[in-house]
Amino acid sequence: MDERLSIAGEDLLTIEGLTKAYPGVVANDHVSLSIRPGEVHALLGENGAGKSTLVKMIYGLVKPDAGTMTFKGAPFAPAEPRAARATGVAMVFQHFSLFEALDVAENIALGMENPPKMRDLSARIREVSETYGLPLDPDQLVGDLSAGERQRVEIIRCLLQNPKLLIMDEPTSVLTPQEVAILFQTLEKLRGEGCSILYISHKLEEIRALCDYATVLRLGKKVATCNPRQETARAMAEMMVGGELHVPQKTPRQPQDVALEITALDVAARAAFGTSLKGINLSVQKGEILGIGGVAGNGQDELCSVISGEILSPDAKVKLAGAPIGQLGPNARRALGVLAAPEERLGHAAAPDMSLTENALLSGAVREGLQSHGMIDWGKTREFAKQIIQKFDVRTPSPNTAARALSGGNLQKFVIGREIIQNPTVFVVNQPTWGVDASAAAAIRQALLDLAAAGAAIVVISQDLDELMEISDRFAALNEGRLSAPVEAAGLTVDQIGLMLGGAHDLEPAKVAQL
Amino acid sequence: MITLEKRPQPSKLWTAITPVLAVIATMIAGGLMFALLGKDPFIAIRTIFWDPLFNEQFAAFSRPQLLVKAAPLILIATGLAMGFRAGVWNIGAEGQYIMGAISGAAVGLAFHPTESVFIFPLMVAAGALGGFLWAMIPGILKVRFHTNEILVSLLLVYVAEFILASMALGALRNPEGNGFPGSRNFKEYPSAFNAELLPNTGLHWGVVAAIVAVIFAYILFSKHMMGFHIRLAGQAPKAARFGGVEPARLILFCLGTSGALAGLAGLFEVSGPAGQISIDFNVGYGFTAIIVAFLGRLNPIGILLAGLLMALTYIGGELASFMLGVPSAAIQAFQGMLLFFLLAVDVLTNYRIRFGKREVV
């Protein structure tokens, strides 16, 4: 199926039979691919398919067990990232490694082997940021930057090394549509200069728009290659999954009574670099899914906590079916049917070192009657955990396994299943499918739709706009702690959503210098 | 190269055997130290660990001492473990121990010379209350003003020591003591005396209280929501909040309970083995109990065993300095080694050692 023959000497990077095994799992099994100069090459695959391991080997973070790499015709085996960078490979990670208390130029200098004088560096940063249309002020504190701006810091850090190959791991997951547009213009310009880009993303539409070529990995093996421009997103998803993809079905609904209502609520930020909520108005009907879009860090955690009861409010500002609940804590709200699934799986939704049974008790104690007069019924709790594991297809050796030993996707299924199985009347979920692979994400979305069809009011907070469009009845955007007025989701275009997300003030259109 | 690799989940086996490993490592390093001091390391180790229990000459005196010394350590450490598991660091148990002793003794002395069966229970209640209230100072300051409980509780130890001195010299001084510092001796006041329950065993009410505390703590941690919330708050504070734990309530519960148990230990000590309030009444049980709590892995049963072991090193240490002339500072260093090795081998619970080439940077 590889219609594109690799021509020796012309490829920038050729990978031949790369293999890497970890105890109990072969992360990469004889993977071969080649990247041409000026090509945007997509790496596709579900979680655990081996994408990260592969790029880590290219970047010198992981040493392959077998296989060879050739970079510009010469053998390439970087022992460490520094060697890879010296050869011309740069990488932008999904999670930024930046210090919030330092400014942009200082952060960039920290990542350089021989940083120039700060004044020269600032000038270089300005120059590069203008050339590539990445607006950034070298003197600004990173703590004050949006996620998109932070990513620009990372990209500029890479560009200062004049890379031949730029690896980007899930670069758009934290960006608004406008920021994505800016990023794509930058990448187009880099491509025009002959820089190759290895692009990892779950967002298939993006890949169709941007990439010239795609390699699909499944369970560590290369299973397909394709030209994304000629495939549908669904076809590519099925290559990744290796089977037919179940797409959640949405049924039409009738207007019903309001279940949850928040009026004119202000919440002050709890920590430095936290977000305060300003004048939040929100109402969700029974059987309705309200989608809240926006980039994480704009008050998503705070909004979720306001509904869950982790942040208390003036009593009358949060109402459940007309009754004030603002002063009730999480367990009192659970008793009334208000349940939540926070974004951070390890450490917030679940205690990392505790077993799944103990984590089932964490939020299930009240509604499932797992305790009486303070005494825990461990037998019943274990049964409850087993029920979650079975019903939501959580892959784990036993309910006694520690939460941190589960993969991200499996733990996500557990923490969402744990709440859904308790039959909430109001359910707020923050980033329901973050880091979850396509088939599990589809299952979670279907479970949310089923829950709504059964009459629950659901608030879904997500950065994934495609997801929100797929399941929401109404859509609102959360930006810098302000929630826009919700609108009907049906028929909403990406441009309209972009405007609602409203981060427009720091989104000057990319000023790509014409050369 | 040797590398540490994080285990997917904490090893149950290593959790159980690391204390044993630490004791063995302490014996080896301690033996080296004794050898450097010119003492025969084998005799020194035997004198510390074996002779107090099984040497015909010393055991008759030492064995009851084991319970007498272990009881306050276990009682205090059990309380501290609750806080430590929740991430509430009460370092000032020594102060709560002193204040419990003073309060309990004051109640007892106030009734002198009346004889009644109600006096001792009243003293016990007063002892617990004294320790509880002293621990509430760092508790309330932390909850209201976010002060650091480590500093506040620790500094209050020195305040308590001054109060102790002033009591021994002033309000609680024995009026018939010819002006010597120190209170009346409870041995001469039957209603207030914490006597041995069985002769020559060292078993007094404090030992009973320690066992009861261990049982209650065990049930709390394994079966009760409060214990679950304590563990949750210590491991994942955000998850605890999500689980409905109110941090302020938890902080006050943990400090209050550990304070009350330390106060009880003080009361049982002053009314029994010590016999009176004196300027140098406290001997550091409140600090040693911190070692005991960690040596016992913050687990009530572990604390029971650790308390006995620690008491043994005290008695054996005294014996060694008496018999072999080992300086008492060396004995303290020996006890310090125990905590050091315990914390050092603890890493094996969460990590495994791998020999071979380093691969992942």
Cα separation, B181 vs B278, whole angstroms: 7
Beta bridge partners of A478: A483
Beta strands in chain B (DSSP E): 2-6, 351-355
Q: Work out how many domains chain A is built from and give that number.
A: 3
Amino acid in position B134: W
Which residues touch A66 (CB under 8 Å, ≥6 apart)? A17, A18, A19, A30
B357: confidence class by pLDDT, cuts 50, 70, 90 = low
Structural domain ending residue among the three candidates A241, A264, A283 = A241
Contact B9 A375 (CB under 8 A): no
Structure tokens that stand for B161 in this block: 């020591």
Strand partners, A258: A285
Of A351, A366, A375, the CB nearest to B236: A351
Last residue of one domain, picked from the residues A421, A454, A478: A421
Show the beta-strand stretches assigned E in A144-276. Answer: 165-169, 196-200, 213-218, 221-226, 258-267
List residues of chain A with CB under 8 Å from any CB of chain B.
Answer: 61-63, 80-81, 308-310, 329-332, 334, 340, 342, 344, 347-354, 358, 361-363, 365-366, 371, 374-376, 378, 401-402, 404-405
Residues 6+ apart with CB under 8 A from A43: A51, A54, A55, A198, A199, A200, A214, A215, A217
What is the Cα–Cα distance from B297 to B303, expressed in whole angstroms?
7
Residue A268 sits in a domain whose CATH number is 3.40.50.300
Residues B207, B103 share a domain: yes
Q: Are strands A258-267 and A277-285 parallel, antiparallel or unpaired?
A: antiparallel
The Cα B54–Cα A11 span in angstroms is 80
3-state helix, strand, coil split of chain A in percent (to 5) is: 35, 25, 40
Which amino acid type is present at position B95? G
Same domain, A415 and A429: no
The verdict on A152 and A269 lying in the same domain is no
* Whether residue B102 sits in one domain with residue B7: no
Beta-carbon pairs below 8 A across chains A and B: 82
Report ipTM for this prediction.
0.83
pLDDT at A4: 57
Boundaries of domain holding B2: 1-39+330-361
Q: Is B336 on the interface with A (CB under 8 A)?
A: no
Q: What is the DSSP letter of A196?
A: E
pLDDT at residue A3 in the model? 47
Domain limits at A275?
256-337+423-503
Tell me which of A400, A421, A442 is where a domain ends.
A421
Task: Output the six-digit token pair for A388.
Answer: 């979650």
Cβ proximity of B243 and B330 under 8 Å: no
Is the Cβ–Cβ distance between B136 and B255 less than 8 Å? yes
Closest among A44, A63, A34 to A165, alpha carbons compared: A34
CA distance A14 to B117: 90
- CB proximity B244 to A under 8 Å: yes
**Distance between CA atoms of residues A311 and A313, nearest Å:** 7
Any idea which residue has 């926006």 for tokens?
A: A294
Cα separation, A432 vs A415, in Å, equals: 10
Q: How far apart are CA B270 and CA B98, in angstroms?
A: 9
- Same domain for B83 and B223: yes
- In this structure, which amino acid lies at residue A380? K
Rg of chain B, C-alpha, whole Å: 22
A80 → closest Cβ in B232, B238, B361: B361
pLDDT of B85 strictly over 50: yes
DSSP 3-state percent helix, strand, coil across chain B (nearest 5): 70, 5, 25
Q: State whether B334 and B315 are in the same domain.
A: no
Query: Considering the entire predicted model, what is its pTM?
Result: 0.78
Residues A415 and A430 in one domain: no
User: Is residue A113 located within the same domain as residue A186?
Assistant: yes
Of the candidates A312, A304, A339, which has an alpha carbon nearest to the alpha carbon of residue A328?
A312
Sign, Cα dihedral of A449, A451, A456, A459 = negative
Place of tokens 């003591």: B177
Termini Cα distance of chain B: 13
Structure tokens at A503: 């981060």
CA A300, CA A56: separation in Å to the nearest integer? 31
- In the structure, what pLDDT confidence band is assigned to residue B356 with cuts at 50, 70 and 90? low
Asked whether B33 and B333 are in contact (CB, 8 A), the reply is: yes
Beta strands A474-479 and A457-462 are: unpaired
CA distances from A60 to A55, A70, A78, A86, B191 (A): 9, 13, 5, 11, 77
Give chain B positions within 8 Å (CB) of A354. 231-232, 235-236
CA nearest neighbour of B291 among B233, B235, B332:
B332
Q: Are residues B212 and B358 in the same domain?
A: no
Name the closest residue on chain A to residue B229, using Cα atoms: A362
Closest residue by Cα to residue B120 from B185, B175, B186: B186
A486, two tokens: 């919700």
pLDDT, residue A24, reads 66
Q: Do residues B181 and B173 lie in contact, with contact meaning Cβ atoms separated by under 8 Å?
A: yes
The tens-digit pLDDT sequence of chain A (515 residues) is: 444 554 545 789 999 999 988 776 788 999 999 999 989 999 988 767 888 889 999 999 888 999 999 998 889 999 888 889 889 999 988 777 888 888 899 988 887 777 888 888 999 898 888 888 888 888 888 877 777 788 888 888 888 888 999 999 888 777 777 778 888 988 998 898 889 999 988 778 888 889 999 999 988 889 889 998 898 888 888 888 777 766 777 777 777 889 999 999 998 877 666 778 999 999 999 999 999 988 777 888 899 999 999 999 998 999 999 999 999 999 999 999 999 999 888 889 999 989 999 999 999 999 999 999 899 999 999 999 999 999 988 888 889 999 988 877 789 999 999 999 999 999 999 999 876 777 788 889 999 999 999 999 999 999 878 788 889 999 999 888 889 888 888 877 777 777 777 643 343 343 443 33
Q: Is A513 inside any structural domain? A: no
Same domain, yes or no: A117 and A262:
no
- In one-letter notation, the amino acid at residue B41 is P
Nearest to A314 by CA among A259, A275, A264: A264
Domain match, A302 and A417 both: no
- For residue A273, the model assigns a pLDDT of 62
Quick check: B95 pLDDT over 60?
yes
- On whether both B296 and B310 belong to a single domain, the answer is yes
**Contact (CB, 8 A) for A460 and A282:** no
Looking at residue A512, its pLDDT comes to 40
- The answer to whether A321 and A354 are in contact (CB under 8 A) is no
Main-chain phi, psi angles of A190, to 5 degrees? -60, -40
Residue A3 lies in a domain: no
Question: Using CA atoms, how far apart are residues A76 and A50, in angstroms rounded to an integer?
Answer: 20
In the predicted structure, residue B213 carries a pLDDT above the cut 50: yes
Helix or strand holding residue A358 (H, E): helix A356-364
**Strand A426-430 relative to strand A338-341, pairing:** parallel
B326-354: per-residue pLDDT in tens? Answer: 888 888 898 889 888 888 888 888 788 87
CA atoms within 13 A on the CB side of B70: 28
Order across the sheet with A13-22: list the strands.
A25-35, A13-22, A66-71, A74-75
Average the pLDDT over each of A374-383, B182-191, B211-220, B338-347 and give the range with the smallest value: B338-347
Overall domain count for chain B: 2
* Helices B149-169/B247-271 angle, 10° precision: 30
Tokens found for residue A483:
């929630």
A55/A144 same-domain check: yes
Question: Is A68 in the same domain as A130?
Answer: yes
CB-CB: which of A329, A350, A376 is closest to B223? A376
Question: Nearest C-alpha of chain A: how many angstroms from B230?
Answer: 12
Question: Does residue A448 share a domain with residue A322?
Answer: yes
Q: Do B236 and A330 touch (CB under 8 A)?
A: no
My answer on whether B1 and B53 are in the same domain is no
> Which strand (E) or helix (H) includes residue B23?
helix B12-36
Shared domain for B102 and B28, answered yes or no, is no
Please indicate, yes or no, whether residues B31 and B53 belong to a single structural domain of this protein.
no
Cβ atoms < 10 Å from Cβ of B31: 17
Q: Find the helix or strand (DSSP H, E) in which A304 lies.
A: helix A300-308
**If you compute the radius of gyration of chain A from its CA atoms, what whole number of angstroms results?**
24
CATH number at residue B270: 1.10.3470
Interface test with A, best of B242, B346, B358 (most A CBs within 10 A): B242
CB proximity list for A54: less than 8 A, separation 6 or greater: A15, A18, A28, A31, A43, A217
Do A175 and A148 contact (CB within 8 A), yes or no?
Answer: yes
What are the backbone angles phi and psi of residue A13, rounded to the nearest 5°? -130, 130
Enumerate the residues of chain A whose CB falls inside 8 A of the CB of residue B359: 62-63
* Nearest-10 Cα torsion for A399, A402, A406, A412: 80
Question: Is residue B133 within 8 angstroms of chain A, CB to CB?
Answer: no
Q: Give me the phi and psi of B336, to 5 degrees please.
A: -60, -40
Residue B274 neighbours by CB under 8 Å, 6+ apart: B101, B281
* In a shared domain, residues B137 and B242: yes
Q: Give the pLDDT score at A421.
A: 95
User: For position A508, what pLDDT does the model report?
Assistant: 39
Q: Is residue A445 domain-shared with residue A308, that is, in the same domain?
A: yes
* Residues A104 and A218 reside in one and the same domain: yes
Q: What is the DSSP string of A388-456?
A: HHHHTT---S-TTSBGGGS-HHHHHHHHHHHHHTT--SEEEEESTTTT--HHHHHHHHHHHHHHHHTT-
A224/A262 same-domain check: no
Q: A402, B8: Cβ pair inside 8 Å?
A: yes
